[in-house]
Chain A
């Protein structure tokens, strides 16, 4: 007995690890090369955006770090004046494109993640309230969501942006752009969450555990937050993953249109907008590397979301 009782701790840990390792989701993950590849790529890009600034050669937006003599260096070829090498080349100001892309990815991911979080919190909240309380609140929220869903997200984001341009004094506009983008993209994507959560809340609220909670005197707020919410989160994670890719593309599109991040603090979209001007003069690398980064980032997250949706949906297996 004593030999057995001495080792429950590690054994339990091991079995917990085993249970995790053998769970359906992880099993499906281990057997899907696409999922592993896209997860690795996403992790690499997110990690690069987080710690990359400590490794890249320069701070691309500190004018003191730039040397005009390095300008327009081709990727991987030494500069004719300074003999400096740049893996991704440089732009006319001598800015290292690798550093610019890393900083740009950071901004793109920040805006993408924050706006997804914003629309998720907003949409889940409205969906829970609509599903739980029903009645007039429900019909108003769902009507608005219908209208919102039939209008394209980019149009709504542009409108929010245009209105904000008129309301915020010009001096503060540049510093407010980041928050404006997050709110504009967030507000254009909440309806999907609200719809999904309302649907599952309608099912969950008649289950016995919710009735039990109600009988034991918990408030509506506590029931929604502690009992229903954890049970409707599954589909929400899938939507959030796919929306992250969409939000990153939406941000890039807004910045490309010239209503997003300013050139002093560029995202990938701003870099592509700038790079497009050099397309005709043959400096392809100023455009290519930000564009490739954006494509790989969006594709990897998209594939991961697609896989997650299939893996969590037993009907498709």
Chain B
């Protein structure tokens, strides 16, 4: 198991270096960092001095290594547009996105698994047919339209929930949380539903099809022959074997959670990383774009590492294999 974890770790680090290289090339090819920092009246000599001081005259491998060193410490320089340190901007906006993403992941996993089990057990009922049809519609609905629809119903017509922003937040150290105030919680409802909906339909369909497949296997038939109750077969035998693909997909889908978070944050004017990134794209603000790219890549690597390790917890076959030294 140790060798396996190490292998995933090395692969992840390779991905990070590759993404860092892309981010680094953006700095080199998009815009001129010196022109972005000096004023209109700077002389040619001023410019040369500045680019010497910034190390822009060094050979590019040296610059790349320096860039990676800075990136590892979370330093990406100063935003071209806002004139503030990118690390400060990220730190300020991180809590909003993390709270949104984690809550919607919990929401979609819990309800997705429950609805999926229900639709698999009652294959042909009216309720499961309705759920399945709705999920198909949900897959083809663009995220931002779901958000706008929710705003129309709950903010414009019913006036129950706020239509934008985070509401009142409480500061705990540098972390700002919306979970402790009433308006903060109210503001979370619609963004979480919007962001979680696509995930929910996906997880639900996956759980359903995996469950149906598991119910046809020999061990389930055997369990039935042994007189084990139907509930116990479903929950203890079939469900457990559906968990491996569900965990894989749910983990890999975290990427799309981040992507849809960009859209959701724009719809609800949520002050998170996604809206920061969209603004950066509009104004070609390279330091912010590079920092966001590195952030997303790190999340990916960490999540896929966790997913890889979770396999060992969920699937006993992998454990015995690695003990025999046959893992790879």
Contacts and interface: CB of A to CB of B under 8 A. Distances in A.
B266 A256 contact: yes
Interface string A244-278: 01000100110011110000000000001000100
**5 pairs of A and B residues whose beta carbons are closest in the complex:** A152-B259, A166-B30, A166-B284, A162-B281, A165-B284
Nearest to B283: A165
B312 to A, nearest CB: 21
Contacts of A153: 259
A155 B300 CA distance: 13
19 contacts: A147-B18, A154-B260, A154-B262, A155-B262, A155-B296, A158-B281, A159-B289, A166-B31, A166-B286, A167-B29, A245-B140, A258-B278, A272-B145, A272-B148, A276-B148, A280-B163, A291-B148, A295-B141, A298-B141
Interface in B32-63: none
Q: Secondary structure at chain B's binding surface: helix, strand, loop or mixed?
A: helix
Contacts of B304: 150
A155 B144 contact: no
Nearest to A162: B281
Nearest to B141: A295
B26 interface: yes
A39 B163 CA distance: 37
Most chain A Cβ neighbours within 10 Å, of B277, B281, B293: B281
Interface string B257-291: 01110110010000000000110111110100100
Nearest to B155: A280
A86 interface: no
Contacts of A259: 278, 281-282
Given A150-B255, A163-B26, A165-B283, 17 more contacts: A147-B15, A150-B304, A151-B255, A151-B296, A152-B259, A154-B262, A154-B263, A158-B262, A161-B281, A253-B142, A257-B262, A258-B266, A259-B281, A279-B151, A280-B163, A291-B145, A294-B142
Interface residues of A, number: 35
Interface residues of B, number: 41
A280 B300 contact: no
A279 B282 CA distance: 24
Contact of B30 (A167, A291, A295, A302): A167
A162 B280 contact: yes
Contacts of B282: 165, 258-259
Contact of B293 (A159, A253, A276): A159
A257 B278 contact: yes
A267 to B, nearest CB: 12
B31 A253 contact: no
Contacts of B139: 302
A196 B255 CA distance: 22
A155 B252 contact: no
B187 interface: no
Nearest to B19: A147
A294 B163 CA distance: 23
A299 interface: yes
Contacts of A150: 252, 255, 300, 304
B292 to A, nearest CB: 9
B256 interface: yes
A255 to B, nearest CB: 10
A270 B282 CA distance: 15
Contacts of A166: 26, 30-31, 284, 286
A309 to B, nearest CB: 13
Contact of A162 (B15, B29, B289): B289
Nearest to A275: B148
Nearest to A306: B136
A126 interface: no
Interface in A141-183: 147, 150-155, 158-159, 161-163, 165-167
B156 interface: yes
A287 interface: yes
A151 B156 CA distance: 35
